[in-house]
Amino acid sequence: MDIQRPTTERTDRTPEAFRQYLVNNLYYARGANVQSASAYDVYMALSRTVRNHLVDRFRKTVDMRYAVNPRFVYYLSAEYLLGRQLPQNLLYTETEELAKQALAASQFPLEELIAQDEEPGLGNGGLGRLAACFLDSLATLDIPAIGYGIRYEYGIFRQEFEDGYQVEQPDDWLRLNFPWEFAQPDDMIPVGFGGHTSHYKDERGKLHVTWHPAEEVMGEPHHLLVPGYGTTTVNFLRLWRARATHEFDFRLFDIGDYASAVDRKVHSENISKVLYPNDNTPQGRELRLRQQYFFVTCSLRDIIKRHLRTGNPITNLADKAVIQLNDTHPVVAIPELMRLLLDEYNLGWHAAWELTRRVFAYTCHTLMPEALEKWPLSLFERLLPRHVEIIYEINKRFLGEVNARFPNDYARVSRMSLLEDGHDRQVRMAHLAVVGSFSVNGVAELHSELLKERVFHDFYELWPEKFNNKTNGVTPRRFIQLANPRLSKLITARIGQGWLRDLEQLSKLEAHCADPDFRQAWRLVKAANKAELAELIETRTGIVVDPNSMYDVMVKRLHEYKRQLMKALHIITLYNRLSDDPALDIVPRTFIFGAKAAPGYYMAKLIIKLINAVGEVVNNDPAVAGRLKVVFLPNFNVTLAETIYPAVDLSEQISLAGKEASGTGNMKMALNGALTIGTLDGANVEIRERVGAENFFLFGMTVEEVFALREKGYNPREFYEANEDLKRVIDQISSGIFSDGDPTLFEPIVRSLLDRDEFMVLADYEAYVACQAEVDEAFRDTAGWTEKSILNAARCGFFSSDRAMRQYAEDIWKVKPLPVR
């Protein structure tokens, strides 16, 4: 059959043609007309017009890859924080000016249409944003890659505040048509749960196992195009939506049982409703495991289908595919691939296991025990009975290997087992990931060393060659070019545009660091960005802030180890000092927070309430007016971050040493000229090494000191009693000063700090407050601060996701770029 290629008539690059395509899409795709079209109508027409440019490149990309049959990277992640698609796709297709010209005669400026663009609710924090940065860089580097995830209908949640408390509302990002996705309901994949297995041996004695699921749902694929910058390549992200096999029971409906008539539909589609359902209940834990299995089996079946479609045999899957597991959420893919190879493709155990271990690579993104997922074995047995059989067999053979290497070391065998014994036996997913992968990497130098020395030490002694480091990075296209166009324009005027694809070129800015004109221009950019953020703060919160004050910013996921609580203690300390001495000379500060707490994380939500309560007192006290302001912006996401990062003066990266894997907010703010105050934790260590110790505000214990203090026996009350400022602050929280006289409201926080203080807030408090005094002095020196700001940006070119992906490709995946001609 002669396949006819589509014409390029929708992608001519003249203002007249672009305007005509936009009008055509308005009429033929939206069914609207020019005279009465709404802003949303025009937005949809514009999005489709821009998307056509991507589709044309995507077609060329697909043609090239079918012809060459290259090795592919398949990236499995539970999260993708993509951000708005329209501004990025305008940039990557070089159609922004065409769009502006096409809209010039209309009543809808481009900025108004961009405001219509919904940010996909597919992630929560740094893990999801990192995955999005990596997909961007993979396409920019021309690396054949596909991302896989879940199409969450309501995201994690939309955050609101009521009386200072976090309230979760559905993030209904799909309430209107999402123009950037392609649904493929004709390509659904069946997914089984529960049931039982049957075993038999054929005439040659080969064991065959069949899984008979008790229930089935369908995975419906939707894909989003992921273009590279400055290249023709367009990869894609494939997201799975859960659908019922039978959506409607007419018999039940006919007898009036209307709710039961759609029960199966509701039960099935709950799988892809929200990201990270609250797992404080047995139902929540079950739903999470259902999500993870649903996502990986759909993805693996799709990967295998693509592999076979190009004429490859199943036995060379590892030669043509590498599957990167982004943290432990997709690790059930390891026994699932074994099941597919054993039961559906009839490979023997040895061949299937060797293939599996050559396909998977694992990135660990945490040092927190609760994030190294464990699942009750009883839940696994009920939901995934065949997978439990496979995990038992993997574990038996693996422990045999451990015994052979370390004879009679029963404690080691117990520590390394994939199954944790106890009254409720658990499947250790991180252990399964290490055993079933050929590569295990951390995401910052310190993090990777701690994985080897502590978290996976036994595994490192068994397989040292598996372990490596790949420090995280961020895309400069999203977080400088799009987020900070003023700075981007200034940088390009001095060093050219090459930095957008080679971020190390930012080092050329050092040559301009002493130039008074450049310094002044740099300050003006920061001032304009701060004024823009001040307007947004007033619009969203009603709080008026001074753009000339220091913007002291802490925006990240709310977790106790990140120590937003220590920041709150510092604010109260400054408030007390000003209350005691109104004439005290301090640098005016605006403290800006942004963070979501997991719905079931009680302490994190109480810390949000405390920060808002402190802000309520501080912001309404005339004695500190103009010198201290506290702002907690609700619903922190990529779109909000793009306004915050360019305006930051001081970046708060104050986690307890040894707890943060990497962090990427630290990189984004430094690249936008912020100075960091932080501990030697995560990627802070490498940022400080690169920008210079004199351009980084360091405080707090080292990892070694943290472990030593814990082993000695940490008593937080000793620090409380020894520091008058600290004691006063905690006593104020306890007395009800920040809770309308109610001494019980924040009692759990006070009790946690004084009795346990797991993340050693009190131990680091004094050093933190002292370091903040150094920040004050440095900020008073405008010329010196500007120089430090420029050097932070100039010396952070290493922290590009392009560099990270290049290292993954060369060191782990062994894939090469395939430019599209």
Cite the active site residues. 365, 556-557, 562, 664, 668
Pair 662, 562: CB distance under 8 Å:
no
**Is 112 within 8 Å of 201 (Cβ atoms)?**
no
Encoding tokens for residue 646? 């360019």
| Cβ proximity of 654 and 768 under 8 Å | yes
Q: Which residue has the tokens 């070019």?
A: 481
Amino acid at residue number 453: E
Sequence-separated (6 or more) residues with CB below 8 Å from residue 797: 499, 502, 503, 504, 505, 506, 507
Burial of 659 (0-12, 13-18, 19+ CB in 10 A): buried
With b for 16 or more beta-carbon neighbours within 10 A and e for fewer, the 24-46 pattern comes to ebbeebbebeeeebeeebbbbbb
Q: Which residue has the tokens 């000379």?
A: 585
Q: Report d(CA 801, CA 794) in Å as an integer.
A: 16
Return the amino acid letter for 782. Answer: T
Q: Determine the angle formed by the axes of helices 516-541 and 782-794, rounding to 10 degrees.
A: 90
* Cβ count within 10 A of residue 708: 12
DSSP state of 340: I
Half-sphere exposure of 441 (CA within 13 A, CB side): 22
* CA dihedral sign of residues 103, 108, 111, 114: negative
d(CA 293, CA 299): 10
* Helices marked H in 161-316: 250-254, 258-261, 263-269, 282-309
Tokens of 366: 């945490």
* Residues 212, 264 contacting (CB under 8 angstroms): no
Residue 693 to residue 699: CA distance in whole angstroms: 11
**Coil, strand, or helix at residue 536?**
helix
Give the span between the Cα atoms of 552 and 787, in whole angstroms. 18
Residue 361 · residue 439 · CB < 8 Å: yes
Contact 608, 565 (CB under 8 A): no
Q: Which two tokens stand for residue 320?
A: 């043509």
Q: Shortest CA distance to 322 belongs to which of 814, 650, 755?
A: 814
Strands 145-150, 189-193: pairing kind: unpaired
Question: Which SS3 state, helix, strand or coil, does residue 652 take?
Answer: strand
- Write the DSSP string, 745-811: TTHHHHHHHHHT-TT-HHHHHHHHHHHHHHHHHHHH-HHHHHHHHHHHHHT-TT-BHHHHHHHIIII
Rounded CA separation 72/322 (Å): 6
Q: Enumerate residues 6+ apart whose C-beta is below 8 A from 13.
A: 95, 98
Going by C-beta distance under 8 Å and a sequence separation of 6 or more, which residues neighbour residue 383?
193, 194, 286, 289, 290, 293
> The tokens 């209940």 sit on which residue?
281
Q: What angle do CA 232, 233, 236 make, to 5 degrees?
A: 140
Rg (C-alpha) for the chain, rounded Å, is: 28
Strands 321-326 vs 72-76: parallel, antiparallel or unpaired: parallel
Strands (E), 424-493: 426-428, 439-442, 467-469
